[in-house]
């Protein structure tokens, strides 16, 4: 039985902002509406959904880069949200993040070698000779030449910068890495290199990932289990082969069918997901998906479906699979 590394319990984050002039009204964006999931040790856990469904917010709340409103995050038995300053510092060494935009994620005025040495100095991981050796080892590990340490970010391509971002996350030897769309800003040919690198690190160091993505093809290859999010809520979770072979939620099915198949023989006109994503400011009553769902029933418009476990670690929130 796999060990649970991270457990997220009813995590909630609403953003409020004032809109309008001269009489501003307060609007609430329901970025995360009580989502729960678990990540096993050594597993790549995918968090998928359309833009604005709250998947990046979820990743940042887990790391407490954004403070969630309520809920719980437990890392290896330790409460992350309750951790004080010192505990949080130690937890920061266990959990790291890789960003989407490699052009914004590196300090343009900082040499790569310094940027990689800094976290180890701050956390007191070895003397300067050890840190020096480790910087070199990290560069080699992510596939960059040793002289990269004397160069500045603008001297590198997007893919190389992403490698630097990964190396920076690895400086503190984390166990869990939140990868926030790590390849979606890159060319397809570079994407596979970065994914292979991440997969290699997973095998070598037993890393776990929270892999945030909107690309089902990538998630299918990279992740062992996934959660599908829609407007701030998780609509379906489960192990990867099962979810892709037999999606239970209509939204998951539509996502799967709208992702391209790399084989011209089996190409069919993709079943489109009708309509726009409703706003997270004012989600539809009942099931949030009912405005676009082909199987919509009367009760979908009235009540949000309850979460149901349907065997082998699979769960779904849909009236089609209700009692």
Partner 1 sequence: MSRGAAIAAPRRGFVHALRELRRAFNTNITSWIGLGVFLAIVLFAVLAPVIAPFDPYEQHIIDRLKGPDATYWFGTDAFGRDILSRLLHGARYSLVIGSVATVSAMIIGSAIGIVSGYVGGRVDLAVMQVMDVLMSFPSLIMGLMIVAVLGPSMGNLIFAIALTAIAPFARIARAPTIVIKQRDFIEACRALGFSDLRIMVVHILPNVMAEILVLGTLWLATSIRVEASLSFIGLGLKPPIPSWGGMVREGFEVILDSAWLSIFPSLAILLIIFALNMLGDGLRDAVDPKLRGGE
Enclosing H/E stretch for 197: helix 188-205
Gyration radius from the chain CA atoms: 21
Is the CB of 153 or the CB of 315 nearer to partner 1?
Answer: 153
Is the CB of 9 or the CB of 132 nearer to partner 1?
Answer: 132
In the complex, least distance from residue 279 CB atom to partner 1, rounded to whole angstroms: 23
CB 214, CB 195: distance < 8 Å: no
CB 218, CB 275: distance < 8 Å: no
Q: Is 152 in the site for partner 1 (CB under 8 A)?
A: yes
In the complex, least distance from residue 177 CB atom to partner 1, rounded to whole angstroms: 10
Q: Is 140 in the site for partner 1 (CB under 8 A)?
A: no
Is the CB of 133 or the CB of 285 nearer to partner 1?
Answer: 133
Considering only residues 24 to 63 of the shown chain, the ones binding partner 1 according to CB under 8 A are 60, 63
Q: CA 113, CA 237: separation in Å to the nearest integer?
A: 40
Q: CA 111, CA 83: separation in Å to the nearest integer?
A: 33
Contacts 24+ apart (CB under 8 A), 157-162: 158/102, 158/103, 158/185, 158/186, 158/187, 158/190, 159/102, 159/186, 159/187, 159/190, 159/193, 159/194, 161/102, 161/103, 161/105, 161/106, 162/98, 162/102, 162/186, 162/190, 162/194
Is the CB of 140 or the CB of 303 nearer to partner 1?
Answer: 140
Query: What x-and-dash track marks residues 153-182 binding partner 1 by CB under 8 A?
Result: xx----------x--x--xx----------
Considering only residues 57 to 86 of the shown chain, the ones binding partner 1 according to CB under 8 A are 60, 63, 65
In the complex, least distance from residue 140 CB atom to partner 1, rounded to whole angstroms: 12
* Cis peptide, bond prior to residue 22, ω within 30 of zero: yes
Is the CB of 14 or the CB of 152 nearer to partner 1?
Answer: 152
Residue 288 zone, left/alpha/beta (φ > 0; ψ -120 to 50; rest):
alpha
**Considering only residues 27, 41, 76, 93, which one is a binding residue for partner 1 as defined by CB under 8 A?**
93
Q: CA 204, CA 206: separation in Å to the nearest integer?
A: 6
**Considering only residues 38, 57, 96, 252, which one is a binding residue for partner 1 as defined by CB under 8 A?**
96
Task: Please give the structure tokens belonging to residue 63.
Answer: 């790391």
Is the CB of 27 or the CB of 111 nearer to partner 1?
Answer: 111
Query: What x-and-dash track marks residues 102-121 binding partner 1 by CB under 8 A?
Result: -xxxxxxxxx-x----xx--
Is the CB of 50 or the CB of 101 nearer to partner 1?
Answer: 101
Residues that bind partner 1 (CB under 8 A): 60, 63, 65, 88-89, 92-93, 95-97, 99-101, 103-111, 113, 118-119, 122-123, 132, 136, 146, 149-150, 152-154, 165, 168, 171-172
């Amino acid at each position: 039985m796999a060990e649970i590394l991270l457990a997220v319990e009813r995590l909630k984050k609403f953003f409020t902002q004032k809109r309008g002039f001269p009489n501003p009204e307060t609007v609430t964006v329901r970025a995360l509406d009580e989502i729960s999931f678990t990540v096993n040790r050594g597993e790549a856990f995918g968090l998928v959904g359309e833009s604005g469904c709250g998947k990046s917010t979820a990743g940042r709340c887990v790391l407490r880069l954004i403070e969630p409103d309520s809920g719980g995050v437990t890392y290896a038995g330790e409460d992350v949200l309750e951790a004080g300053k010192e505990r949080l510092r130690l937890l920061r060494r266990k959990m790291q993040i890789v960003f989407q935009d490699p052009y914004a994620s590196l300090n343009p005025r900082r040499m790569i070698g310094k940027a990689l040495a800094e976290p180890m100095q701050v956390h007191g991981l070895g003397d300067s000779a050890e840190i020096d050796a480790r910087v070199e080892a990290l560069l080699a590990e992510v596939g960059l030449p040793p002289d990269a340490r004397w160069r500045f970010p603008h001297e590198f391509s997007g893919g190389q910068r992403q490698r630097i971002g990964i190396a920076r996350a690895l400086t503190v030897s984390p166990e869990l890495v939140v990868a926030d769309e790590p390849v979606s800003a890159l060319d397809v040919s570079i994407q596979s290199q970065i994914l292979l690198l991440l997969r290699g690190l997973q095998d070598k160091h037993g890393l776990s990932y929270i892999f945030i993505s909107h690309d089902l093809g990538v998630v299918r290859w990279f992740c062992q289990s996934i959660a599908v999010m829609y407007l701030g809520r998780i609509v379906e979770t489960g192990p990867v082969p099962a979810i892709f072979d037999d999606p239970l939620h209509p939204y998951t099915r539509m996502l799967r069918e709208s992702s391209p198949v790399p084989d011209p023989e089996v190409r069919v006109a993709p079943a489109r997901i009708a309509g726009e994503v409703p706003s997270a400011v004012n989600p539809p009553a009942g099931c949030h998906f009912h405005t676009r769902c082909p199987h919509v029933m009367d009760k979908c418009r009235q009540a949000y479906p309850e979460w149901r476990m349907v065997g082998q670690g699979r769960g779904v929130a849909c009236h089609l699979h209700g009692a």
